[in-house]
Structure formats: C-alpha cells, structure tokens
C-alpha cells in the first residue's frame, strides 16, 4: 500500500540508525533510521478513513480532561501497518541546527500506537543511501529528539491519450 504522508517540522525521536552495505556488483552504503513522532489522531486518516473510530471511542466517552480514550486497551500495540512511501524528500534537524537531507528516501515499517488523550505515536523507518558524513551525523542523533520534515514525491503528470 502506498502512503501519501507529509510531515512539516515535527518533533521526532530517533530510536536507531542501522548502517549496511547493499548491492551485488557494486556495494553502496545504505542505512535505516528508525523514528517515532507524536501526532493527533486525525493523522490516522492517511492510513485508513476508519482507523480513528476503530482505535478511539468516538461515541462520547472521554477521560477527565475531555480527551478521547483508546477503545480497546487490551489490544496488542503497536499495530504494524504494511505501507510505504517511495521517493520522499526527508530532512532531519538535530541540536546543531544543520539539516541532514535525503532527496530519495523510502519510509516503511510503520507502527501505530494510540494513546489515551487522543494522540498517536507513529513509528517508521527511513531507508536512505547516505554519504559517510550523513551517516556519521545521523548516528549522533540516536536517542535524541529532532525535527523531521517529509515531503512525498510529486506525482507524474497524466498524459493525454492519443
């Protein structure tokens, strides 16, 4: 399933950075950056239009602050969502303020953890082909709260039929 998720300067926790070599004939440096972001439950519409009402009791039951409650507290979480965004432009900014930019990233391995109060923790992996400098800088972000922006690729223009 293809997602059209867009994040603009959202706080993200970098959980892990996993470097590796890829390729049979010519090996290239690749890495997976595992992140988590906290969003409102409206973000669930990107995954499914009915996911919010499945995960949260939207019938009027709220907590003492008036916020939504998780509908099934015994549900094994996080949910794993089989979807991906190919060719995304990803920018991660750490403490130094200098962004690490990846123009062709793959976002995948999504997890969804609803929270009482109506928010959700969305986890995902950003797979990229960094240079050595980008890999070193990304590795320094493990365990840190950063700012992430994700822009989906532009869709190709439709051609008129002949």
pLDDT of res. 40 = 93
Mean per-residue pLDDT for 121-133? 96
pLDDT at 7 over 90: yes
Average pLDDT over all residues of the chain: 90
Domain ranges of the chain: 7-22+30-151
Query: Over pLDDT 90: what percentage of the chain?
Result: 68
3-state secondary structure 90-139: EEEECCCCCEEEEEEEEEEEEEEEEECCCEEEEEEEEEECCCHHHHHHHH
The SS3 call for residue 37 is strand
Model confidence at 143, pLDDT cuts 50, 70, 90, reads: very high
Q: Which of 15-24, 73-82, 116-125 has the lowest mean pLDDT?
A: 73-82
Closest CA to 119 of 65, 76, 74: 65
- Tens-place pLDDT, residues 37-93: 999 999 999 999 999 989 988 776 666 666 788 888 788 889 999 999 999 999 999
- What residues have CB less than 8 Å from 8, skipping those under 6 apart? 149
Question: In terms of pLDDT, which residue wins out, 134 or 161?
Answer: 134
Per-residue model confidence (pLDDT) at position 117: 86
């Amino acid at each position: 399933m293809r997602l059209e998720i867009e994040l603009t300067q959202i706080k993200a926790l970098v959980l892990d950075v996993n470097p590796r070599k890829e390729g049979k004939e010519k090996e290239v440096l690749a890495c997976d950056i595992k992140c988590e972001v906290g969003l409102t439950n409206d973000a669930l519409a990107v995954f499914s239009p009915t996911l919010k009402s499945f995960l949260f009791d939207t019938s009027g039951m709220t907590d003492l602050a008036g916020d939504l409650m998780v509908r099934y507290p015994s549900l094994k979480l996080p949910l794993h969502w089989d979807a991906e965004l190919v060719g995304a432009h990803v920018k991660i900014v750490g403490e130094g303020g200098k962004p690490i930019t990846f123009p062709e990233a793959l976002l995948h391995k999504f997890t969804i953890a609803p929270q009482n109060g109506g928010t959700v923790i969305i986890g995902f992996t950003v797979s990229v082909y960094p240079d050595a400098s980008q890999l070193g800088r990304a590795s320094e972000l493990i365990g840190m709260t950063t700012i992430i922006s994700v822009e989906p690729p532009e869709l190709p223009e439709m051609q008129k039929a002949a």
